[in-house]
Structure formats: structure tokens, C-alpha cells
Structure 1
């Protein structure tokens, strides 16, 4: 809906404010509009001037065509929990607290029961495991869950973090390697160890190395955990076709890392991190180019990634690499 309402009633001049989003509630004289970003706007019925239904946004002209359901399933396969259980069409996921993505309900579809009963089951299931209850839901694309997000907020669940899901063509990412110092992409297949030499990274650092499992140095660079337990390795190493990239410096810990999961036509990029002392040297692009080259060899053609809305540096990087926002997802925590 596109809704126009009167602005500040105390103003000397008549002003109007427009709000565009999904109408998720109209009750007791108050409308709730959920914007693409997941923000819920309350509008008094008495302030309404005009409103109209608007068609769904046209298909994106930049990047591959993709539906929300297809992307949500690909993302779930790329970051799998240690334990899962269905709740209707929802999926309960747990991995001993390692990341919200692996310890939240993937609320796609119908839970098969009234929402309050489903949320009670969610609280109980996570409570049995000593974990906070989280629900992951999305906004901003056809088929996303604006109504669920609004219902969670009404019930006191707090939106704790939001992230953009971005998509783009895979070949342009691989082509980035040609413009880097010492450029070029991985050549030939992986060796007996599962490793392959990658693009030179620039700035006097070593080459990108690809492997099928994260070594101790890769895990030390990964900033999401302290001392990683087996559950961390399980989550990181599970997926349709998982690759890890490292750029070695002078020490034991890589100066840059990344992870890619190849799944049919999709290649998902995660855990791209660079040592602060080595940033702005093209290392993130080198890592992604090497991973993209390997994904192309495995038949993928499209790319996706996730970036938190507050990470302005990463968002600017991905803008420059041609990734456009497809939708946003949010983690709601039970109060």
C-alpha cells in the first residue's frame, strides 16, 4: 500500500507524509504499515488523506532473477545447524548457540497451528536447550513475511538485527581477479589435498588458497567465535559444496579469509574478513574472485551474500561489485 496522511497537526501549514509498505493490520482506528526495511509504522485512521494498492515491484534488471522461496532455501542449506526439527512448514534449528542463523526458527510457510501456539512451542524447544528463542523472518520482496514480523512485534518479540540479502551475477565477481595485482584466477582442479592456488592478492601478501575445510589459522581469523568447538566446524563445513579461501601473510593467521557454498546455480559468499592492518588492498575482492572462479567451474552462475544493515563499509564494497538488494531478513528474540 501507499498511504498519505496529514503531517504534524501543530504545524502552521498543511503537510503530508507518504508511507509505502505492506498493510499488516487495521484495528481500533490504527493502521500498521510494515516497510521494506522491517520497520513498522503506526498511522491513526483519523489522519488518513488517501491510500491505494500498488503493484509488486518489477523484476530487477540487475542480477539474476530469483524468488524469495528459492533464495531462502539456498541460504538455509549454506548455513546448516547441528540439530533441526520441523514445526509444520517452519524449521527449528540449533547449533549450541553458534550464530543466530543456526539457532533460530526459519519461519517460511505455515507452522500448522495458531501463531501463539507455534511461538509457545518455539520457546519451549529452545528453552530445553538453554538457548534464547529466535525467529528469522524476511521483508521487502514478493512472498516475504511482513505480517509475521508485525505480529511478532505486537507480541513483544524484539527485532535484534537485520541484514540485506544481495544477489548478483557470478562471472563479474570472478572477473575481478583479472584486475588485481598479479591477477588471474585459480587454474586447473584441486590437488590431492583439496587445495588450489588462487589469485595473487596484492599489497605484498601471498596467494589465495582454496581448501575444503577450515584450518586452525582460518578459524583464528574468523571473528565470530573465540575458541571454536566441534559444533563451529560442523556448521562451517556442512553444505552442498563448501570452499574456504585464505590469503597468507607473514604469520600463521591469514590476513584475509572467505567461505563459499556452491549449490546448483547459486554460489553463496560468507565469512569474508580481512585483517584491519591489511584493508583497502583488494584482499576481499581477491578472496571472492578466487571463490567465484571455483564456483563457475562447478556450474554456478548466480551469487548471493548477506550483509548486516549497519555494516556500511561492506555494503559499499558490494555495491561496487554489482550486488543489489533482493530482500532483508530479521532476527526477532523472545522477550
Structure 2
């Protein structure tokens, strides 16, 4: 990371650069001139009262006093990804939303309030794709009232790390006391390589609806109510995969869900029983679903994986899925 001009460190950013991607170097507080510097890269989301706020790709905001700056510059956007299909953030965000639809929704400007009886944060959070038509503080108050009327916690789903994403909104949420609870990656890749994997596909059963056996493996609820089944069944073309495992058992060894939406196939709810892991069953389920999606004309694939799920991330690395952006759920403070 180079900041020098003629051998000197220089601060070449100003409050006029708010909204741009920057790289800064700062001296830790309370240390002398000889201390090691700390570097930060992200979107400059505010510069108020002599304090800078920089939001990184992870969605975390770093607050830096002007007096601690020793260097800074505007940096170009991240280079275009060369693995997998091209996709804008707006296109992919809407595809992901159509694959996991709420039971109830209401617009707030360009934001959409979503609820499904509390089943998953994705179906019970605000999708903020644009301007709410109100100052952010007023919009968040409206959000809290809407979810409070439904006896649900108020969540906002934000995204970072791709052009058109919402680093500034992450910073706004933090300023209003909202807390980030969980983050996940949205990954994309070509679909054909998944369908071409050498996997034991014949044992996998595909259906249009989740049966009792499929639901017994899915671990997101105790008893599936009507709202759960409505969310699971939502999407343009929905498929459920079941790998039976032991023919005598009632609970499948592995399951998966896929939603085909134009050129996109989205993979969700891929789960393998603990006693059946490391046998390639997740790959079998995804391969079977990918082949069906290819038959329906899809060519690109996406999936979501939580950042602390190292096993799944390694599996998807091997399948050619690359990070497109990250998303985060912020919850209103009590």
C-alpha cells in the first residue's frame, strides 16, 4: 500500500470524498511517533466533527480521528471478478429475494418490509434496494413500528462488497444504535460445472414440494406451520432434493432446495445429517438439482453461506463458487 509522494506520507482525502472507496493509514491512539501504523480500506461513509467513518467489505465501520491520520487516498473500485457469470448487485439481490419470499410485505419507498411469522431473518427483514422516501432515522422508526405490530424483532438486511451495495446504510444503522447480528456471503458460479460433477445422483429424489421426510431433516423449526411451507414453496420454479441414505430410516441423509429463475439457479437448505457427512452427499444433492436447472435453461448459479461455516465454504470453493458480495442483518437495539 503506497502513500508517498517524493518520500513523504500525505493525506490526499477530504470530506468531499465521502461515498468513495479510500485507503488510509493511521497512528494508533495514545502511542508515540515510532509506533506501527494501521491501514484501513473501505468506503468513506462520513466525515463529521473531525472523525472519519470507513465501512469495510465486512460491513464493519471503523471510526478514525483526523488527528490520527498520517496518509490517505482515494482508490479505484475493486477489479471485476473473472470467475463465474457477470451480475450486478441489484439483479442478484432481486433474484435472491424472489427465491425466499415472505408471507407479508409492504413497500416503504424503495425499501420492502417483509414478514413471515419469524421464520428466518431473510423473510423477516427489510430489503433496502433504494431510497425509503424518508430520512433514514424516520424510516427506521417506521420499520420498528411495523415489526412491533407483528410482535417481531426489527431487522434490516444490508449488503457490502459490490458496486451498488450499502456500506453507507451500514454506517447509518450503527449511528442509530442498530446491532449487526449475522453476516453471510453470496457466491456465484457457472452452473454447468456443478451439473458435470461425478456424483452419485441416481439415489437423489426430486420433487416440487417438501414431504414429511424432507422437513424432518431441515433444522430451522420444530413444527413447520403454514408460513414455513409458504416460504419454502415460494419462487419461480422450486425443486426439493432428498438423498434417502438408509432405506429403513425415516429421516433423509441429505436434502437440498433449488429455485430456477431465468438464467439463475439458487441453492438453499443443503443439509447433511451428522452421521452421513464426508460421503459426498451434499455434492450429490447439488449435482442433481443443477442438472434439473440446466434442463430448464439456467446457466448461472448462486448460493448463500454464513461466514463461520468453514466446511460449506470449502465445498463451494471446490465447485467454483466465488464471492459476489456479503450481506448482514442489523437488529434494532432493545
TM-score, normalization by structure 1: 0.91
CA RMSD of aligned residues (A): 1.1
2:191 pairs with 1:220 = no
For the Cα contact (< 8 Å) 1:6–1:49, is it kept in 2?
yes
Cα deviations by residue, 1:172-197 (Å, 9 ceiling, x for unpaired): 11111xx23xx4xxxxxxxxxxxxxx
1:1-335 counterparts in 2 under 5 A?
A: 1-7=22-28, 9-10=30-31, 13-176=34-197, 179-180=198-199, 183=200, 199-200=201-202, 207-250=203-246, 251-335=249-333
Corresponding residue for 1:190?
none
Task: Work out whether residues 8 and 15 of structure 1, in 8 Å CA contact, stay in contact via their aligned partners in 2.
Answer: no
Change over 3 Å in CA distance of 1:9–1:117 after alignment to 2:
closer
Deviations, residues 32-65 of structure 1 (Å, cap 9, x unaligned): 1100011111111101112111111121011110
Cα pair distance change 1:221/1:45, threshold 3 Å: same
Q: In the alignment, which residue of structure 1 is the partner of 2:17?
A: none
Q: Which residue of 2 aligns with 1:193?
A: none
**Distance in 1 (alpha carbons) for counterparts of 2:179 and 2:35:** 35
Deviation (angstroms), 1:9? 4.7
Once superposed, which parts of structure 1, at least 4 consecutive aligned residues long, lie more than 4 Å away? none
Alignment length (residue pairs): 310
Return 5+ residue gaps in structure 1 as ranges.
184-198, 201-206
Contact 2:29 2:68 in 1 (8 A): no
| Secondary structure of 1:156 counterpart | coil
Distance 1:14 1:148, change over 3 A: same
SS of aligned partner of 2:206: strand
Q: Is residue 170–residue 301 contact of structure 1 (8 Å, CA) maintained in 2?
A: yes
Residue 7 of structure 1 and its aligned partner are, at CA, apart by 3.8
Q: Shift of the alpha carbon at 1:317?
A: 1.0
Q: Please state how far the C-alpha of 1:118 moved relative to its aligned partner.
A: 0.7
Q: How far apart, in 1, do the equivalents of 2:305 and 2:107 lie?
A: 27
Task: Specify the SS of the correspondent of 1:21.
Answer: strand
Give, in whole Å, the separation in 2 of the partners of 1:304 and 1:124. Answer: 33
